Structure formats: C-alpha cells, structure tokens
C-alpha cells in the first residue's frame, strides 16, 4: 500500500491546480458567516462585474450594510489581502511537487591508445520524496491559518467601515443641527440690532448676541468640515472614486434598539469564533509539524539515489544504482531543532496571550457598551428635555423682562451643547456596538455563527498540542 501511495504521489505530483479560487472561496465563506457578505476576488477577471455591482449600490442611499458590501466589492487594499491566500496556496502546490532529478555526464579523453570513457547518471533526493506528505501537511496548515488571518483582517475592515458610516451620520446630524441653530441665531442678531436701534436693548446685550452668532457661525463651519472629512474617510474605506464618490447616506443615526442583546457567555463565544485566534492555533500546528519533520530527518541528511551508466576505456558498459549519503558527523540538525522548539514556544505563548486579551477585550467592550447606552438614555429622558424646558422658561422670563439677554443666551448655548453631546453619545454607542460584534466574532443578536472546532478553546491559556508529522 505504501508503494502504491508513493507511485500515485509521483504520478499526480504535478497535477495540482495553481488557482487559489477554492481557497479564497473558503475564506469568503468564513467572512459570510460573520458579516453576512462574501469576499469578491478580482483575480479571476471579475473586475467589471464587481464595479457594476458597486456602482448600482451607490446609486441608492447607503445603509451600513450596503456600505460594507461596496467595500468588499471595490476596495483594492482588501484585494491585496486576498492574494496572501494565493501565495499560501502556491506554497501548498510547491510542497506537493517532486524535485526535478539531476542528470550528470562525464566524457573522458584517453591519454594513450585506449578508448574514451563515458559516464552518466540520473539521481533524485530520496528524503524529499519520502517527506513530501509531511511538507504538504505543513503547507496545508499554513494555508488554513492564512485563510483565517485574511478573514479576520477583512472583518476588521468591515468594522472600520461601520464606524466610518456612523461617524458620517453623526457629523451630518450635527451639521444639520448647527445649520438650524445658525439660522435661528442670525434671525436673533438681526432682531437685536433693530431693538438696539430702537433703544430697547443695551450695547452689552447687542454685543452678547453678536458674539453668540459669531461663535455659532464658526461652529457651523467646523461641522461642515467634519462632514467632508468623515465622508472622504468612508469613501477611502469603500475604495470608490470618480462618479461613484457622489453617494449619499441617511442623515440621522438610528435610535437605540428596544433592548440590548445578552452578553452572557460572551467570552466563550469570542474564544470560539475569533478568526485571529484560529490563525494563531494554526501557527502552532505549522511549527509543531515542522518540528516533527526536523526531528525525523535530522540523522538522514541528504540522500540521493539514482541510476548510473558507465562505459570504461576497454569498452565494458556498466549499469547500476547509485547512492550518495551525507554523513551527519558535525551537523546533526541540533541547531535547527532548537530553533524550531523556540519558535514553537513563541507561537504557543502568542496564542495563549491572545486568548487572554480576547477575554478582557470583550468584557471591557460589553461594559463600555452598557455605559454608552445608559448615557444616551440619560440624554433622551432627562438632559435634552430639561435643557429645552430651561430655554422655554428663560424665553418667557426674557419676554416679561424678568431675565437678561445674557442668561437667555447661556440657556440656549447649553441646549445646543446638550443636543450635540446626545448625537456624539449615540454615535459612540453604535461604534462600540460594531466593535463588540467584531471582537466577539458575530452579530450580538444571533451570536457567532459557525464556531470553530473546540481545538482552540483555551483554559487559563493552556493547550495540548501533539508533536507529530501530519
């Protein structure tokens, strides 16, 4: 059976496809499990179709989901990530290829009356031949790790697109509020000037009104600049340009969800679902397999075997096997083994440290999200309505000449600040929610889909790994 396996390996070694499409499709499935959208690899000639799909989406008002879809279709930086899978797949194909045999020949010219001699041989590396399965196992584990790592980086980009989208919505909402306030302040300062000319208000009252209008105008310009910055940032994240860069989003941030998703068992969910942890686990496998291979071959060195044909000067022709063996007298691979052992300890510690960090990150984010929700609710229920009531009461007292203009202006400024802070708090909530979903590895509502096998569920940062060749 082993001879049959070796024979089949020799026959089919050169037949593996070099196209990484199947491997990229695997990474695409991983992303779809978490983000609900697939990767779009343009390496198979799908540039025009992807561009048309993105352009069609951008003709409608963008939602956060459609912004993510456009990024997966159009962002060229993501395409560079997908090619990492192509490189790893090429390494897997290379690991399954046999070494080309070496052919050597010599021709001996006689120095006397005898006939010339001739010698030729064909040799190949036996160690390479018999370890081809182990090397393919190492490359296959490395490819799986690359798919997890790329999928994790794509999900990071999805998170950044969502945060960029919420930042733009918040900037637009703030700008719309600033515009209303500026128009109101402009009308107020024009009225104050007429009242001043009529002698019903003092120089100080007019100066206060004009100072407030100047301040509001400056904040209006800054709010307009913030919209431009947030828009261009999201444009870069989506990777669009030209006519496609004229997209629009709805101005208003979504209200808080009616109830908050449960964060029970959130640590174990994150450990089960995080792709960067899965990639770290594959790194441990790769180095473990490499260590086993290094130990198994440390005493063999180089072993070349082949066929030698020789014709002597007397005309005698000889045909027979040839073997060249490297004697491990000085280098028994001890340094190589020690180096890989150190690498194994490093990747194990990296995996354990990442698991600890993940647990802490999701706990922190869950706590911050709860606080952010409470702050938004405070603004909705108390702060904003109270500030609005203070302005209304101040206006009544001002009209009754029981309150000075300065106190009225302070009340209005506090109302503006409260509403601005409410928008910022709501944007912060949605940004934190997007980050928590990214760190947990899936929607908070439905939980992480398609959790990984329990091979990388870590307890106290410890995990057993078998040290044998694949």
Please state, in angstroms and rounded to a whole number, the distance separating the CA atoms of residues 346 and 283: 10
Which DSSP symbol is given to 459? B
Predicted pLDDT of residue 339: 93
CATH label of the domain that carries residue 276? 1.20.1600.10
Please state, in angstroms and rounded to a whole number, the distance separating the CA atoms of residues 322 and 394: 104
Structure confidence by residue, pLDDT tens digits, 267-300: 999 999 999 999 999 999 999 999 998 888 877 7
Q: How many secondary structure helices (H) and strands (E) does the chain include?
A: 13, 4
Predicted pLDDT of residue 21: 85
Structure confidence by residue, pLDDT tens digits, 437-456: 999 987 776 544 444 433 44
Residue 382 within any structural domain of the chain: yes
Q: Name residues of the chain where pLDDT drops below 50.
A: 1-8, 10-14, 447-470
Which DSSP symbol is given to 454? G
Residue 270 within any structural domain of the chain: yes
Specify the number of domains making up the chain. Answer: 1
The domain in which residue 449 lies consists of: 254-298+348-470
Q: What is the token pair recorded at 244?
A: 């496609």
Element (H, E) at 62: none
Residue 433 within any structural domain of the chain: yes
Please state, in angstroms and rounded to a whole number, the distance separating the CA atoms of residues 273 and 147: 14
Predicted pLDDT of residue 122: 77
Residue 406 within any structural domain of the chain: yes
Residue 402 within any structural domain of the chain: yes
Residue 291 within any structural domain of the chain: yes
Residue 438 within any structural domain of the chain: yes
The answer to whether the beta carbons of residues 173 and 251 sit under 8 Å apart is yes
Residue 286 within any structural domain of the chain: yes
């Amino acid at each position: 059976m082993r001879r049959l396996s070796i024979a089949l390996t020799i026959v089919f070694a050169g037949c593996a496809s070099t196209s990484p499409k199947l491997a990229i499709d695997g990474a695409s499935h991983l992303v779809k499990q978490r983000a609900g959208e697939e990767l779009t690899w343009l390496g198979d000639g799908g540039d025009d179709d992807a561009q048309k799909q993105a352009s069609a989406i951008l003709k409608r008002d963008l939602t956060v989901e459609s912004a993510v879809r456009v990024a997966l279709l159009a962002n060229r930086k993501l395409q560079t990530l997908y090619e990492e899978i192509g490189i790893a797949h090429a390494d897997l194909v290379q690991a399954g290829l046999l070494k080309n045999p070496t052919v050597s020949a010599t021709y001996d010219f006689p120095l006397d009356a005898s006939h010339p001699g001739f010698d030729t041989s064909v040799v190949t590396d036996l160690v390479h031949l018999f370890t081809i399965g182990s090397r393919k196992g190492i490359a296959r584990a490395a490819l799986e790790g690359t798919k997890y790592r790329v999928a994790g980086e794509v999900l990071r980009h999805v998170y950044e697109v969502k945060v960029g989208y919420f930042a733009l919505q918040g900037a637009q909402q703030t700008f719309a509020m600033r515009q209303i306030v500026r128009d109101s302040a402009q009308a107020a300062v024009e009225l104050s000037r007429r009242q001043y000319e009529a002698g019903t208000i003092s120089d100080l009252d007019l100066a206060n009104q004009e100072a407030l209008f100047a301040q509001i105008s400056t904040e209006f310009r800054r709010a307009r600049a913030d919209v431009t910055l947030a828009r261009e940032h999201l444009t870069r994240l989506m990777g669009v340009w030209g006519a496609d860069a004229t997209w629009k989003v709805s101005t208003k941030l979504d209200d808080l969800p009616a109830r908050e998703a449960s964060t029970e068992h959130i640590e174990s969910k994150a450990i089960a679902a995080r792709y960067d942890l899965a990639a770290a686990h594959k790194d441990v496998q790769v180095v473990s397999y490499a260590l086993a291979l290094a130990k198994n071959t440390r005493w063999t060195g180089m072993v070349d075997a082949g066929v030698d044909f020789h014709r002597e000067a007397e005309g005698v022709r000889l045909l027979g096997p040839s073997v060249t063996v490297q004697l491990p007298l000085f280098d028994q691979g001890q340094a190589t083994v020690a180096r890989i052992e150190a690498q194994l300890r490093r990747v194990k510690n990296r995996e354990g440290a990442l698991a600890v960090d993940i647990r802490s990150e999701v706990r922190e984010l869950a706590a911050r999200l709860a606080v952010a929700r409470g702050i938004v609710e405070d603004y909705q229920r108390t702060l904003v309505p109270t500030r609005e009531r203070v302005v209304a009461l101040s206006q009544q007292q001002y009209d009754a000449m029981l309150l000075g203009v300065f106190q009225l202006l302070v009340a209005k400024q506090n109302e503006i600040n409260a509403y601005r802070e409410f928008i910022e708090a709501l944007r912060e909530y949605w940004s934190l929610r997007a980050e928590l979903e990214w760190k947990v590895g899936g929607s908070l509502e439905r939980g992480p889909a398609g959790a990984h096998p329990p091979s990388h569920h870590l307890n106290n940062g410890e995990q057993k790994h078998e040290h044998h060749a694949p």
